[in-house]
């Protein structure tokens, strides 16, 4: 792209539009940095308890609220637990994946601090490694999970493996694992059963963020590449989402509320009268859940990720991140007997019409065959709505807009919002309204997922959005961008821990970023209670063809109505900064006062920084 020259001095006597930039009620604060902050460890693999730096690749965030009234009054909020979606050999925190737990307190205004603690096993500090090795055995890649309203937490092991050879790079001990030998609880009915080491991976695992220990692997929920799930308000029903092509939608109903060691497991089958296929509580069956469920005609999805219950309507919303090239996954192997999801058939037909300018000429059965044969390149994914009463799944929010070529548009013609590959999902309840929190994890940069100028190198930038759930039939244009992560990273983990603070994770950023954004980290955006207008009014529309800027709710950042080359001048006309291809500019380092912003077309706006 040609570099637009900006003069060193400009005439300041023009009549320039002024934008008042007040101090925002929303403030950002980094609370936990992987590879930097120290975690306290247990005695592991013959090594004494001690400390080491935390793992990286932060993903899911779980939260267990404080319930002690005295501690709540002193500002204690609760325990935060963070997944590490990585697999490595580690003598101190254990091989495979991992988690870190810590407690947060609000000390002044919306400033947070990590609370020093001493755990029941004697470990003292701020951050604690979760002990899997000495309790339930190593985990695989800890990605998503379940953060229940009752404070219980499960972590998901997405990293589905089918042999000890496949796990050897990150797990050294590949000897058989006997259930119940590493933890007193074990699992009722399965204690003493022997598994291949790889078979003890890829289960949902309950953890206790207060003690920093795993409780049990949830063998009776089946072994699959789970990304996440939800625990319903009845404290009996659990829905699980598998990140696979094909992927499963699973249900478990406990016999007794709060006791998830006994109950009935089901796989979703959309074309069945009651929508669910029962799965036996037999360990061999549970180990091979995917094969057995699809053999019985379970519905096939394209990489289900996270989900959350909307408390306002009781429905569950699930991200389906998509797959650029499903190939024969729906046709051969375990997919040969599965059932194509109805919403994928509808999405394929809509895509056909966009590409060809005419409706799909065949029946739904013919469209289903096309999807099964790999014709639907699902570049953007979507958010699904699942009604647990009817068992019906439909598309709620489709990704896009669809671009008709793999080569992306240039910045100057790029859409204001391009929504791709949703991953993290949760809900926030702000001033009596319900908002969906959605985070992207781009599967690629082509097909307009990143502008043309960002195709080379590690220039992926993922964004997080809010969606007003009062909108009946939302589209990508209704999304309100609230934060974006550092270059090269995935934004994930979004969770509202109360009415004032949301937490987010940034994982695997570009190592060339400025510290600490060259590390995976957990950060807070606090002050949502200080917004005096409706959130959707606060996030002003950027669909303005004229050059304009407006306050961004993240502290001290200025947002342009479109990506631009700009220069900032002080009121003497002296140039102080130049930015290329930017949409958000951090002005926190500018001295309070008035400044002029000029774009490449010579349009000017005056801002006032407090």
pLDDT at 41 > cutoff 60: yes
Average pLDDT over residues 491-496: 97
pLDDT at 146 > cutoff 60: yes
pLDDT of residue 33: 98
More confident call, 122 vs 532: 122
pLDDT of residue 553: 39
pLDDT of residue 109: 85
Q: What percent of the chain has pLDDT over 70?
A: 92
pLDDT at 570 > cutoff 60: yes
Rg (Cα) of the chain, in Å, rounded? 25
Q: Could you tell me if 434 and 309 are in contact, meaning their C-beta atoms sit under 8 angstroms apart?
A: no
| Helix-then-strand count for the chain, H and E | 7, 40
Residue 533: which pLDDT band, with cuts at 50, 70 and 90? low
* pLDDT tens track for 175-211: 999 999 887 777 989 999 999 999 999 999 999 999 9
Average pLDDT over residues 345-352: 98
pLDDT at 545 > cutoff 60: no
* pLDDT tens track for 266-287: 999 999 999 999 999 999 999 9
d(CA 146, CA 352): 36
Q: In Å, how far are 239, 322, 593 from 348, measured between CA atoms?
A: 26, 12, 53
Q: Could you tell me if 55 and 93 are in contact, meaning their C-beta atoms sit under 8 angstroms apart?
A: yes
Average pLDDT over residues 441-451: 94
The helix (run of H) or strand (run of E) holding residue 558 is strand 557-570
Lowest mean pLDDT among 276-280, 481-485, 498-502: 481-485
pLDDT at 487 > cutoff 80: yes
d(CA 390, CA 319): 19
DSSP string, 86-109: EEE--TTT-SEEEEEEEEEEEEET
pLDDT of residue 104: 99
The helix (run of H) or strand (run of E) holding residue 78 is strand 76-88
pLDDT of residue 21: 45
pLDDT of residue 541: 42
d(CA 229, CA 222): 13
Q: Could you tell me if 348 and 271 are in contact, meaning their C-beta atoms sit under 8 angstroms apart?
A: no
pLDDT of residue 1: 35
Residue 229: which pLDDT band, with cuts at 50, 70 and 90? very high
pLDDT of residue 9: 72
Whether omega before 154 lies within 30 degrees of 0, making that bond cis, reads no
Residue 542: which pLDDT band, with cuts at 50, 70 and 90? very low
How many CA atoms within 13 Å lie on the side-chain side of 198? 14
Lowest mean pLDDT among 191-200, 226-235, 543-552, 598-607: 543-552
pLDDT at 45 > cutoff 50: yes
pLDDT of residue 90: 97
Average pLDDT, the chain: 91
pLDDT of residue 446: 96
List residues bridging with 544 in a β-sheet.
Answer: none
Q: Which residues, at least 6 apart from 248, have a Cβ–Cβ distance to it below 8 Å?
A: 224, 240, 242, 267, 268, 289, 290, 293, 294, 298, 301, 304
Lowest mean pLDDT among 173-187, 373-387, 492-506: 173-187
Average pLDDT over residues 289-308: 98
Q: Is 10 helix (H, G, I), strand (E, B) or coil?
A: coil
Residue 512: which pLDDT band, with cuts at 50, 70 and 90? confident
More confident call, 546 vs 358: 358
pLDDT of residue 514: 85
pLDDT at 236 > cutoff 70: yes
Lowest mean pLDDT among 235-244, 295-304, 322-331, 597-606: 597-606
pLDDT of residue 530: 86
Residue 606: which pLDDT band, with cuts at 50, 70 and 90? confident
pLDDT at 308 > cutoff 70: yes
Burial of 537 (0-12, 13-18, 19+ CB in 10 A): exposed
Domains, in order of start, for the chain: 1-25+531-610 (2.60.40), 26-222+485-529 (no CATH)
Lowest mean pLDDT among 382-396, 462-476, 557-571: 557-571
DSSP string, 427-449: EEEETTEEEEEEEE--S-STTTT
List residues bridging with 609 in a β-sheet.
Answer: 21, 593
Q: What are phi and psi of 349, to 5 degrees?
A: -65, -40
Q: What is the dihedral of CA 422, 439, 158, 204, to 10 degrees?
A: -120
Q: Do the bridges between strand 153-157 and strand 117-118 make them parallel or antiparallel, or are there none, so unpaired?
A: unpaired
Reading the block at residue 431, the tokens are 């001033």
Q: In Å, how far are 12, 194, 399, 546, 595 from 17, measured between CA atoms?
A: 12, 73, 36, 12, 11
Q: In Å, how far are 48, 185, 212, 218, 220 from 182, measured between CA atoms?
A: 18, 9, 16, 15, 18
Q: Do the bridges between strand 127-129 and strand 38-41 make them parallel or antiparallel, or are there none, so unpaired?
A: parallel
């Amino acid at each position: 792209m040609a570099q637009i020259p900006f003069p060193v001095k400009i005439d300041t006597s023009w009549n320039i539009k002024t934008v008042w930039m007040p101090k925002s009620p929303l403030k950002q604060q980094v609370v936990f940095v992987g590879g930097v902050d120290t975690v306290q460890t247990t005695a592991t693999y013959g090594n004494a308890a001690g400390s080491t730096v935390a793992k990286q690749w932060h993903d899911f965030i779980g939260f267990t609220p404080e319930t002690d009234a005295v501690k709540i009054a002193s500002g204690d909020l609760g325990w935060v637990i963070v997944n590490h979606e990585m697999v490595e050999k580690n003598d101190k925190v254990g091989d495979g994946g991992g988690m870190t737990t810590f407690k947060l307190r609000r000390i002044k205004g919306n400033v947070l601090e990590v609370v020093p603690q001493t755990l029941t096993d004697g470990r003292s500090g701020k951050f604690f490694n979760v002990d899997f090795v000495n309790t339930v055995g190593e985990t695989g890649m800890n990605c998503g999970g379940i953060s229940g309203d009752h404070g219980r937490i499960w972590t998901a092991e997405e990293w589905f493996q089918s042999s000890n050879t496949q796990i050897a790079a990150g797990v050294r001990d590949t000897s058989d694992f006997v259930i119940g030998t590493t933890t007193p609880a074990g699992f009722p009915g399965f204690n003493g059963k022997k598994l291949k080491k790889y078979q003890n991976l890829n289960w949902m695992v309950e953890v206790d963020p207060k003690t920093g220990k795993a409780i049990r692997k949830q063998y009776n929920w089946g072994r699959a590449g789970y990304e996440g799930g939800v625990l319903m308000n009845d404290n009996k029903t659990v829905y699980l989402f598998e990140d696979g092509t094909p992927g499963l939608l699973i249900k478990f109903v406990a016999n007794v509320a709060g006791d998830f060691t006994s109950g009935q497991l089901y796989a979703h089958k959309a074309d069945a009268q009651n929508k669910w296929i029962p799965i036996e509580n037999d360990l061999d069956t549970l180990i091979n859940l995917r094969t057995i469920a699809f053999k019985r005609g379970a519905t096939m999805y394209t990489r289900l990720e996270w989900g959350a219950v909307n408390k306002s309507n009781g429905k569950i919303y699930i991200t389906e991140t998509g797959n650029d090239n499903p190939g024969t996954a729906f046709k051969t192997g375990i997919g040969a007997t599965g059932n194509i999801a109805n919403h994928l058939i509808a999405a394929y037909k809509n895509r056909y019409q966009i590409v060809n300018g005419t409706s799909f000429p065949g029946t739904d059965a013919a469209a289903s065959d096309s999807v099964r044969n790999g014709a639907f390149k699902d570049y953007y994914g979507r958010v699904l709505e699942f009604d647990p009463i009817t068992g019906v799944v439909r598309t709620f929010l489709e990704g896009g807009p669809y671009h008709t070529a793999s080569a992306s548009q240039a910045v100057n013609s790029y859409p204001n919002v391009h929504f791709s590959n949703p991953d993290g999902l949760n809900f926030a309840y702000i001033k009596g309204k319900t908002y969906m929190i959605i985070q992207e994890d781009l599967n690629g940069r082509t097909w307009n997922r990143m502008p043309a100028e960002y195709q080379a190198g590690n220039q992926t930038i993922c964004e997080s959005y809010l969606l007003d759930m009062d909108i009946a039939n939302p589209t990508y244009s209704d999304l309100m961008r609230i934060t974006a992560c550092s270059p090269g990273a995935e934004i994930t983990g979004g969770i509202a821990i109360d009415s004032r603070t949301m937490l987010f994770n940034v994982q695997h950023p570009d190592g060339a970023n400025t510290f600490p954004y060259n590390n995976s980290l957990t950060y807070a955006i606090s002050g949502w209670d200080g917004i005096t207008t409706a959130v959707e009014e606060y996030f002003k529309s950027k669909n303005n063809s004229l050059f304009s800027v407006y306050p961004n709710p993240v502290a001290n950042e200025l947002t342009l109505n479109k990506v631009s080359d700009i220069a900032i001048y002080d009121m003497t006309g002296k140039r102080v900064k130049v930015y290329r291809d930017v949409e958000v500019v951090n002005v926190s380092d500018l001295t309070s006062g008035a400044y002029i912003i000029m774009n490449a077309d010579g349009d000017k706006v005056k801002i006032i920084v407090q």
